[in-house]
Chain A
Amino acid sequence: MVKLDLADLAKYPFLPEAKSYVERLGIELRELFNDPDYSDILERAYERVVEALEHGYVRLGRDPHIEIVSFPAAIALVSFVGSDLLAQRYATAEAKRASRQLERDNNLELTVYISDAVFNWGLKIVRRETLDGRIEETPMVPVYTYLKYASRVSGSFWSLVSRRVENGYVHLPLRALIRLLEEAIKDYILERFSPPVGVELGYAEPLVARLSELVKKRLKPAEELLEAYRIGEESYPPCIRVMLGNLRAGKGLPHLARFTIVTFLRALGWDVDRVVELFSILPDFNERITRYQVEHIFGLRGSRTVYAPPSCATLKRGNLCYAGGDPICGKVKHPLQYVRVKVGGKAD
């Protein structure tokens, strides 16, 4: 059985044990927001959200007690702000923090415990003797759980073909298991955003107001951004429209989707700034990295190769084809060809 101390609950505040810790203290939101004795907790809750917003990451504070209690308080704050983009960003940052801590802990038992206690994954552990005689313990995830979360993470590393699959389970290295857990933790947090009814904001009111301001400055609403560059979006092929839709919803996009959007929009005459700005709504946005990558794809860095958008065949293989019954999709082999057919003119 895994023994959890206060420091563990601080690292993984979504654990049921952390929840009962808060319950045992008998602190309710109403008091948190209205009692000056709890100002340090409220302060830390606010900080958590700001860190997520500004750095895409939440650091681990020193006082475990404050860390544990400020987590539900931060979720309440985000709920009060009522911005889906902020919610996405906060959940992503908290999930990333948890997965970094899990990597640092490098503890199979603990990771399996979290998978089961919070997410009910029903993991198994297989023990195998390696060729040099060591006993190797590998966690196994049910295939459907693997499919559900691995499909959101990009890269051939996540292809099921490359995995050991056995009787309904997928063998996973610990790091890969942690990466899947990160996705599940994000979902878990996202499901918890709902403004508490009948709670007076009290001391939290100015914090919520400040956060709303920050959100307005930092996270430009996707609609507004896309509106400005809307020219011809209805002429884009369904795959690009779906990808932009996901971008608009602040959802994480697989690598190939990002690459496709960048190369496609470049071909339509967008410049680097416009493209970078478009990506600024993603929860894991980092301007420096994004700009570097976009410039690379634009052929302004490195090998100076200008990349063309992937063909329909490549998109299909990458599970990014959404042709459905679109009559034009049936006739073209390339997303840009689609635009040409649709507008009847030239697109690139």
Chain B
Amino acid sequence: MERLIKRMFRDYYSKAFSLNESLVSPIERREFGVQFFDGLMQRHLSFAAGEELRSFLTSKVPKGVYYSSACYENPAAKEMELKGWVCADLSFDIDVDHIPTKCKQEHDWWRCKNCGYEGRGMSPPRCPICGSERMERHTWICDKCQHEAKEHLYRLVDDFLMGDLGLSPKQLIITFSGHRGYHVRVVSDEYSRLDPESRGLLIEYILGLGVKELVLEEVSGRRRYRAYPLDELGWRGRVARLLYEVISGYSVEELLEIGLSEDAARFIVRNRVGILRQLEARRPSWSFIKVIGRRNFESLVEEARFRGAAIIDERVTRDVKRLLRLPGSLHGSTGMMVKPLSYSELEGFNPMEMPSPFERFGDLCIKITSKRTYKVTVGGYKYDPASNPVGRPLKLPAPLAIYLLLKGHAEVVGDGDCT
């Protein structure tokens, strides 16, 4: 199987891949790293030009290709201290792995490598039974997850980067990650010089950490709330508007689901019009808090935060020496392309319909080896486990077959076995 996949990856890097150098500029200052199919990593690579990188990829055929968000005096130096860090583009990673989605119950599962305990949905950081961190995690891509990733991407880009930070679309390099997420790199000298602590403040902002303290102050041991008009700037207005959304749109059941008490939920729904009028006022009053109580209000605020925050991977944004997937390279666990997207392309982009570079290989003959495959669309080709029985040789379009092979749910069988 590895030989087949490597052959197809090589074919891609030699024929179809062309690096848009402006996306990694200045290329000679970036560190590159690759991960091979046997799992080994090679870091501290440096290339003077895109063509040089391409011939490297064609001859070595890695599973994943990465470049640094940082620029170095000497990117090929083996020791971090000798590299001469100059700056690092502010970068963001949105990955459904970090976003709670309901559909994960259907298609994601994990198993503890220590005690064998397993469960569905989002994987906990450690085994709930034995506490081990050695976890096997199985993820899947689906429409709902892709939709959710894009929702958070839009929040990050529209609300925070282009909205509050006033950046222009030209300053953003956006890529689909090749799996179930997106990367955004900000091209700005000012932001690229910030240290990790400064980036930490921005992370808090994008995650909305501290919104509770914004509306519920503690003054010398006594708690007070602060109301903000809907058109206020920053999180002040955002939290007011999102509270408005929650209060105007949620049913009693939905309010119960986010943690409100029965009484509080009923009170809000019954007095909805009056509460909303209070929120709309130029000098707003949130006196309904006094009726529903602080704890219920906190649940509302948390829900508002959840609707407004963009869930980003903190580590990626904080780390100024991190490697990111190279635009135009292939993702080694899906075979999908790490696709650069302009802001205007975003709306029409559907990763599952994205044409695959493996299209030209026609059908491949494989055998499903796992009972845990789910519906999926790759490169526009649909797969349904119901019509593809386990263990029988099947002809599947190459983009789909590669996805199933890389996810470890299938193996290659001889062409003669397929009918």
Q: Which residues of A contact B (CB under 8 A)?
A: 131, 142-145, 147-148, 150-152, 156, 158-169, 171, 317, 319, 330-331
| CB of B351, distance to nearest CB on chain A (Å) | 30
Q: A161-B235, A162-B213, A166-B234 are in contact. Are A131 and B282 (CB under 8 A)?
A: yes
B200 sits at the interface (CB 8 A): yes
Type the 1/0 row for B278-304, where 1 means its CB is closer than 8 Å to any CB of A: 000011000000000000000000000
Asked if B214 CB lies within 8 Å of chain A CBs, one says yes
Which of B36-44, B161-169, B241-249, B360-368 is near enough to bind chain A? B161-169
- Chain B nearest CB, measured from A126 CB (Å): 10
Given contact pairs A159-B204, A161-B211, A168-B167, A152 touches B234 in the complex (Cβ within 8 A): no
Q: Bound state CA distance, A26 and B221, in angstroms?
A: 59
CB–CB A160/B201 < 8 A: yes
Q: How far is the CA of A161 from the CA of B309 in the complex (A)?
A: 11
Chain B residues near A317: list those with CB within 8 A.
209
In the complex, A330 Cα to B235 Cα: how many Å? 32
Contacts A152-B197, A162-B210 supplied; 16 other A-B pairs, CB < 8 Å: A144-B190, A144-B191, A148-B194, A148-B195, A150-B201, A151-B200, A156-B210, A160-B205, A161-B204, A161-B210, A161-B213, A161-B234, A162-B213, A165-B164, A168-B164, A319-B200
Whether B165 pairs with A143 at a CB distance below 8 angstroms is yes
Chain B contacts with A in 181-220, Cβ cutoff 8 A: 188, 190-191, 193-202, 204-205, 208-211, 213-214
> Which of these, B163, B165, B190, B205, contacts A161 with CB under 8 Å?
B205
Any chain A CB within 8 A of the CB of B232? yes
**4 tightest Cβ-Cβ pairs between the two chains A and B:** A168-B166, A319-B200, A164-B233, A167-B166
Cβ contacts under 8 Å, A169 to chain B = 166
Chain A residues positioned under 8 Å from B196 (CB to CB):
319
Q: Are A131 and B166 in contact (CB under 8 A)?
A: no
Q: Chain B residues near A319 (CB, 8 Å)?
A: 196-197, 200-201, 318
Q: From the candidates A131, A142, A145, A147, name the one contacting B201 in the complex (CB within 8 A).
A: A147
- Check B133 for interface membership: any CB of A closer than 8 A: yes
Residues of B within 8 A of A162 (CB): 210, 213-214, 235-236
Q: Please give the distance in Å from B218's CB to the nearest CB on chain A.
A: 10
Contact, CB under 8 Å: B195 / A166? no
Q: Pick from A150, A158, A160, A163 the residue with the most CB of B within 10 Å.
A: A160
Partner of A165, one of B190, B191, B234: B234
User: Per a CB cutoff under 8 Å, which of B164, B214, B282 touches A166?
Assistant: B164
In contact, B197 and A161 (Cβ under 8 angstroms)? no
| A159 pairs with B210, CB closer than 8 A | yes
**A166 neighbours in B (Cβ, 8 Å):** 164, 166, 233-234
List of A residues within 8 angstroms of B199 by Cβ: 147
Query: Are A163 and B197 also in contact (CB < 8 A) when A142-B190, A147-B202, A156-B210 are?
Result: no
Determine whether the beta carbon of B234 is less than 8 Å from that of A163. yes
Contacts of A331 in B (CB 8 A): 133
Total A-B pairs in contact (CB under 8 Å)? 91
CA distance A162 to B200 in the complex (A): 15
Residues of A within 8 A of B163 (CB): 167
A151 touches B198 (CB 8 A): yes
Q: Which residues from chain B sit less than 8 Å from chain A, CB to CB?
A: 133, 163-167, 188, 190-191, 193-202, 204-205, 208-211, 213-214, 232-236, 282-283, 318
Contact A147 B166 (CB under 8 A): no
Check B210 against A151 for contact (C-beta < 8 Å): no
In the bound complex, how far is the Cα of B236 from the Cα of A164, in angstroms?
A: 7
For the complex, give the distance between the alpha carbons of A168 and B163 in Å: 8
Q: How far is the CA of A26 from the CA of B248 in the complex (A)?
A: 72
A318 CB, nearest partner CB in chain B, Å: 9
Q: How far is the CB of B371 from chain A (nearest CB, A)?
A: 32
A–B Cβ pairs within 8 angstroms, 17 of them: A143-B166, A148-B193, A151-B197, A151-B200, A151-B201, A156-B210, A156-B213, A160-B204, A161-B210, A161-B211, A161-B213, A162-B213, A164-B232, A165-B205, A166-B166, A169-B166, A330-B133
- Within the assembled complex, what's the spacing in Å between the Cα atoms of A169 and B199? 16
Contact A161 B208, CB 8 Å, known A147-B199, A148-B198, A152-B197? yes
In this complex, the member of A142, A144, A145 whose beta carbon has the largest number of chain B beta carbons within 10 angstroms is A144
Q: How far is the CB of B124 from chain A (nearest CB, A)?
A: 14
**Docked complex Cα distance between A147 and B188 (Å):** 14
A151 CA / B198 CA spacing, docked (Å):
5
Contact of B283 among A131, A143, A168 (CB under 8 A): A131
Residue in B167, B198, B209, B236 whose Cβ sees the most chain A Cβ within 10 Å: B198
Q: Are B209 and A161 in contact (CB under 8 A)?
A: yes
**CA–CA, A161 and B163, complex, Å:** 14
Q: What is the CB-to-nearest-CB distance from B325 to chain A, in angstroms, rounded to a whole number?
A: 19
Question: A147 with B198: in contact, given A161-B208, A161-B235, A166-B234 (CB under 8 Å)?
Answer: yes
Min distance, Cβ B319 to any Cβ of chain A, angstroms: 9
Specify which chain A residues have a CB less than 8 angstroms from the CB of B283 in the assembled complex. Answer: 131
List A contacts of B205 (CB < 8 A). Answer: 159-161, 165
Q: CA A150 – CA B201 in complex, angstroms?
A: 8
Whole-angstrom CA separation of A3 from B385 in the bound complex: 79
User: Which chain B residue shows the least CB distance to A319?
Assistant: B200
Chain A residues lying within 8 Å of B214, measured Cβ to Cβ, are: 161-162
Residue in B closest to A166 when the chains form the complex, CB atoms: B233
Closest to B235 in A: A161
A164 to B42, CA, bound (A): 45
A294, B204: Cα distance in complex, Å: 29
Q: Give the complex CA separation of A150 and B197 in angstroms.
A: 9
A330 to B201, CA, bound (A): 23
Instruction: State A151–B190 Cα separation when bound (angstroms).
Output: 15
Contacts of A171 in B (CB 8 A): 233
A167–B236 CA distance with the chains assembled, in angstroms: 15
**Which residue in chain B gives the minimum CB-CB distance to A323?**
B315
Q: How far is the CA of A164 from the CA of B229 in the complex (A)?
A: 12
In the complex formed, the residue of B with least CB distance to A254 is B197
In the complex, what's the smallest C-beta–C-beta distance from A198 to chain B, in angstroms?
Answer: 30
CB of A244, distance to nearest CB on chain B (Å): 17
Residues of B within 8 A of A159 (CB): 201, 204-205, 209-210, 213
Within the assembled complex, what's the spacing in Å between the Cα atoms of A166 and B233? 6
Closest chain-A Cβ to B315's Cβ sits at a distance in Å of 9
Distance (Å) between the CB of B253 and the closest chain A CB?
30
Which A residues lie within 8 Å of B164 (CB)?
143, 165-168
Distance A63 CA – B214 CA, assembled complex (angstroms): 46
CB distance from B199 to the nearest CB of A (A): 7
Chain A residues, CB < 8 A from B167: 168
- Complex Cα distance, B194 from A150, in Å, reads 12
Give the Cβ gap from A265 to chain B, nearest Cβ, in Å: 22
CA distance A162 to B194 in the complex (A): 20
Residues of A within 8 A of B211 (CB): 161
Determine the distance from Cα of A148 to Cα of B167 in the docked complex, in whole angstroms.
17
The minimal Cβ–Cβ distance linking B184 to chain A, given in whole angstroms, is 16
